[in-house]
A = this chain, B = another copy of it.
């Protein structure tokens, strides 16, 4: 008997608000009152508050005590950190991947690549990036490091919003070619190639930062000295 599980309001709120933030439907620095969201999502303030609390922990929402809540600005420092973390971890993973021979994994990766090709033909950029995510996750999973992708993914949230901004002018075909080359290197067991192609590939994301951060100036944090606090 399949138990139909009712998704709790707090969970729904969390997912929906996060979706709106990373999709830029809610813009960085935009004020989001709790009553507004509660009204919008048809629930009381309590689950909304739970969702905002979680999002605040992830750095996507900033509380300003009794003065309002805002979508966190894109912090270039956080983007820079995410890029560093991602590069170090994913390079280590791709290295192991190239040393692993798994037909199953190769098949999965190829499938996401085909999906990317399709999404380019359709002009569906959102689908492209979701397939892209799946592919990178495959790399981690094929070497038994699935949870590492979760860590990368969390560190990457701020970067994801930046990526959204550059969606229009990104050359998706180039990214697709990168992906094919990475897959080829993995299949061929060519560690050096896998590393170098991936490194270049990951670097492309950072290329447009200067342009974007001046074009969408009010989406970014100005101070630059807002570090996430951490009590030992």
Residue positions of A touching B, CB distance < 8 A: 8, 15, 49-50, 53-54, 57-58, 65, 77-78, 81, 84-85, 88-89, 92, 130, 133-134, 145-148, 150-151, 153-155, 227-228, 230-232
Contact = CB atoms under 8 A, between A and B. Distances in A.
20 contacts: A15-B231, A49-B50, A50-B50, A54-B54, A54-B57, A57-B58, A77-B147, A81-B148, A81-B151, A85-B89, A85-B151, A88-B89, A88-B92, A89-B89, A130-B232, A133-B232, A147-B227, A150-B228, A151-B155, A154-B230
Nearest to A81: B147
A81 B15 contact: no
Contacts of A133: 232
Contacts of A78: 147
